[in-house]
Amino acid sequence: GVLPIFPLLGFSSCHILKSEKHNVGWDKYLADEPTEFYKLPLTWRSSNAIPSWLRGSYVKNGPSQKQFGTENRWYSHYFDSWAKLNKITFAEDGQVHFSGRMVETHNYKRCQEAQKLKPSITVAGVLPNDWNMIEMAEGVANSFDNTNVLLWRLGNPTNGTYIATTDYPKVHYIDPDTLAVTGVNTPPPLGGISIQTASHWIRELGTDNSINYHLMLNPLNPAHPNFVLFRYGANMDDREMIGQFPIDHVNYNHMISNTANYAVIVIYPVAMNYWTMPEHNMHPIETLELLDEPTRVYLMNLHDGSVINGFETSDPSMVFATHHMNAWEEGEDEIVFDLATNDWKVMNTYMEIEVMLNHNETDNEWADQVMKRVRLNKVTRQMTVEDWPNPTKDPMLNTMDFPMINMNFWGQKNRYCYGWVGIDYWRQSLVKKDLEGTESKVWSVNNHYPGEMFFVPNPEGVEEDDGIIITVVFDGEREQSYVLLLDGKTFEEVNRSYLPYNIPFSFHGNWFPELK
């Protein structure tokens, strides 16, 4: 396994390992937790001081309820588990509060009121019996509204709009104090019907603007949708089109990135074949297909909407990727970006609940996700795919997902990256990756399951890694979640606070310095 090799590589775990087993409490980590609570006070385990500058809220979005009442029926895929927002607030007076609330969408409330699953479009099937024909028709009528991936702020901290997002082009407006749903937005037709967007909104450098795309279906030519990029201001209605270009298939694209001047858009040879949805009981993720095409990259000029294309690769590692780490410009001619690649089938199979619970442990020493660096020459249209820098020669350090950087370096070259490594699901590590030297570090504890990290920079800091890492960990031995703070430089524990309610395995968190 991974843990025993740390000493040989010069790394050390920050804690004493208590159990040789790797999955103690794993099933409890995936259990439902829909309880609503508001500003519960938290206490820290040790007397270590929390930096006085750490003020704001860390908000996690993620699945939290897949079954209702006593009904013996549940969602088979973790993506379908209903969203919950969990907020950790570092208040101005130094107190720390914990709030949690389900994202109470129309379809969620139908299930809650009936205390059983009510049909809607679901990513995958329902167990032990999938929707029948009558339920499937009802599900199509109720569409999809489970925004369980991210909380994002449009606009500036003073007049911003908070939205819960997913890859479907529908968002829910969220009250950042109570976490209540205050409204819903489905984009009106504008150059076509939007059938997909990215869960990950991105910030335009030097502004409070947000950037995201919509994949627009042209009814007159449905096989060739338009990839349309928009710039948003303070709300969903405050938007303008930056530019657009046609693509050859309905591409699944979870995230894009941007430099100061360009949006970096990767079109993978993976299609979501909506025409086969009736064959899959209207479950969209089951329609993913691998095409015999190269991976293509497009650069869209954020100033005039013009597109530079012609970048192609047949590198098998670039068939699919989920998360961009960062992108930047080098010299006048080159764009560089780093991203987490994985198997194209992972979106369909990796989060199947039965697989997550019953996976057979292996002796693998690194994860399946692989970080890659891509270089684009705007003049020659050369596209070069490189292995990620690895001066320490430890392959595990390059197999991370949920890559996170100091967001003050978004759009410019960064030295440090923080990421999550999951081997056999439950053998999990957190990594600080030094892309230019040998200062990489690992945090890992048997039967402790950490989530994605967020880097909160010290406002008076000068160095890139001067800040606090915040994440939520599930202690499988105690069957209890805790907030973990790590020092951005040393990657050592600053403090932790055990929570009165658990936070199940979730997707993405965000830091809002204005919510304090």
Tell me what pLDDT residue 1 has. Answer: 28
pLDDT by residue (tens digit) across 139-165?
999 999 999 999 999 999 999 999 999
**How many percent of the chain have pLDDT more than 70?**
96
Q: Return d(Cα 157, Cα 515) in angstroms, integer.
A: 9
User: Mean per-residue pLDDT for 4-15?
Assistant: 31
> 19-58 pLDDT, tens per residue?
567 899 999 999 999 999 999 999 999 999 999 999 999 9
pLDDT at position 80: 97
Cα separation, 80 vs 64, in Å, equals 10
Q: For residue 57, how many C-alpha atoms fall within 13 Å in the half-sphere facing its CB?
A: 24
Residue 253's φ and ψ, nearest 5 degrees, are -140, 105
Summarize pLDDT for 488-509 with one digit per residue, the tens: 999 999 999 999 999 999 999 9
Q: How far apart are CA 17 and CA 447, in angstroms?
A: 9
pLDDT band at 393 (very low <50, low <70, confident <90, very high): confident
The predicted structure's pLDDT at residue 20: 60
* CA distance linking residue 426 with residue 81, whole number of Å: 19
Stretch among 41-50, 110-119, 388-397, 407-416 having the lowest mean pLDDT? 388-397
pLDDT tens readout for residues 229-270 = 999 999 999 999 999 999 999 988 999 999 999 999 999 999
Residue 234: the pLDDT is 97
Q: What is the mean pLDDT of residues 217-238?
A: 89
Q: Confidence class of residue 219 from pLDDT cuts 50, 70 and 90?
A: confident
**Interatomic CA distance for residues 420 and 429, integer angstroms:** 6
Does 18 score more than 70 pLDDT? no
Residue tagged 């993506």 (tokens): 79
Burial of residue 307, with CB atoms counted within 10 A of its CB: 0-12 exposed, 13-18 middle, 19 or more buried = middle
Please tell me whether residue 512 adopts helix, strand or coil conformation: strand
The reported pLDDT for the residue numbered 187 is 81
Amino acid at 157: P
Query: What is the per-residue pLDDT across 398-417, written as a single tens digit (0 to 9) for each?
Result: 999 999 999 999 999 999 99
Identify the pLDDT of residue 5: 29
3-state DSSP assignment of residue 137: helix
Quote the pLDDT of residue 17. 38
Distance, CA of 465 to CA of 458 (rounded, Å): 9
Contacts from 240-245 at CB under 8 Å and sequence distance 24+?
241/190, 241/191, 241/305, 242/211, 242/300, 242/302, 242/305, 243/300, 243/301, 243/304, 243/305, 243/306, 243/307, 244/191, 244/216, 244/305, 245/298, 245/300, 245/307, 245/309
Mean pLDDT, the chain, integer:
93
Cα dist. 215→19, 227, 252, 293, 310 in Å? 48, 5, 9, 19, 20
Judged by DSSP in three states, 439 sits in coil
- When pLDDT is averaged across residues 461-477 and rounded to a whole number, the result is 97
Distances (CA, A) of 171 to 13, 147, 201, 389, 391: 40, 7, 12, 37, 42
Calculate what percentage of the chain has a pLDDT beyond 90.
86
pLDDT of residue 223: 76
Mean pLDDT of 49-76: 97
Least confident range from 20-29, 80-89, 95-104: namely: 20-29
Q: Which tokens hold the place of 281? A: 């009981």
CA R_g for the chain? 22
The whole-model pTM stands at 0.94
Average pLDDT of the segment spanning 339-351:
90
Is 316 or 223 the better-scoring residue by pLDDT?
316
Q: How many helices and strands in the chain, by DSSP H and E?
A: 5, 35
Q: What is the pLDDT of residue 139?
A: 95
For residue 475, the cross-strand partners are 448, 480
Structure tokens at 400: 């991370």
Instruction: State yes or no: pLDDT of 67 exceeds 50.
Output: yes
At position 361, the amino acid (one-letter code) is: E
pLDDT at 13 over 60: no
